[in-house]
Structure 1
Amino acid sequence: MRSTPNGSTLVGGTEPECDPLEWVDDPDLVNMIRTQERFEAQVTRAARRLPALQIPNTPSGVVGVYDVAADWTPIYDKTDVDGFYVAIGTSGNQFKNAPVVGELMAQLISEVENGKDHDADPVIFHGARTGNQINLGAFSRKRPFNSESTNSVMG
């Protein structure tokens, strides 16, 4: 929950256990219309925390889907289609990493296009500013599922 410069209050959630998880296989089939049920659940929670909150009578806001991998770790990798690479499954929280992701994807693409077998011998990304090394196998489409994952963007 947070306020906006125009005086509105934004209310949302991070999939609390009291709400059913809605996992979709085809985002093109998602109903992008705000529902009264979801609206009432969110504003009821907000009103309990802020009793003076003025609540509108009709749903407002946005509807969207998260782009996540099964273990909520992004996939930065080649695909089985030659020359096609992906940076997906970021759950909407990786925008802040876009500059370094661009750099690591450029290195991945360059090395694979020059003959490196990334599946057998993963590319090691070298951070130009930090000197840190990242084994890009951790972001492989073929990586083992991380059973220790929190399955959220919360860490």
Structure 2
Amino acid sequence: MSEPILSTSEEQLEKISGFLDGELTQQEAQKISLLIETDQEYKQLYDELSMMRYEVQSLSLQEQELEHLDRLFKEPVAKISRIFGFALIAISAVFIIGLTFFKIFSNPDIGMLEKLLVGAVGSGSLLLLFSVLKQRISSAKNDKYKRVKI
């Protein structure tokens, strides 16, 4: 009469975990494989451990991806590119709005109401642009969440 291969659920978890990690001998792995195929309790434990293992590996991959993105984001070339890109967009927006003001306000064929409406939209756009620039510059210096990783 042979004795049971595993006597406690802790041993079951340990053996199934070893099976999943490839740490068992060939003979032990075959026994566990047979138990997983024939015993519903072992099958359920195996499925649960497999799912947990997959989720843990998935989390570590996500962390690695976030660390990689963080390194790319902090790379000097990327930082300088972002600063110049943002500056170019801001300067271009100011010039486009200024040119539009000049063209509209110097054209006698456009009515005063249209000029006022375009002036209001343009002025609002400039105010919004400057407030965003001011906020970005001040938050870049004092951002308390700068080192927080998601």
- Structure with greater helix share of residues: 2
TM bucket normalised to smaller: under 0.3
- Normalised by the length of structure 1, the TM-score is 0.22
Which one has the bigger strand percentage?
Answer: 1
Q: Which has the higher contact order (CA 8 A, sep 6+)?
A: 1
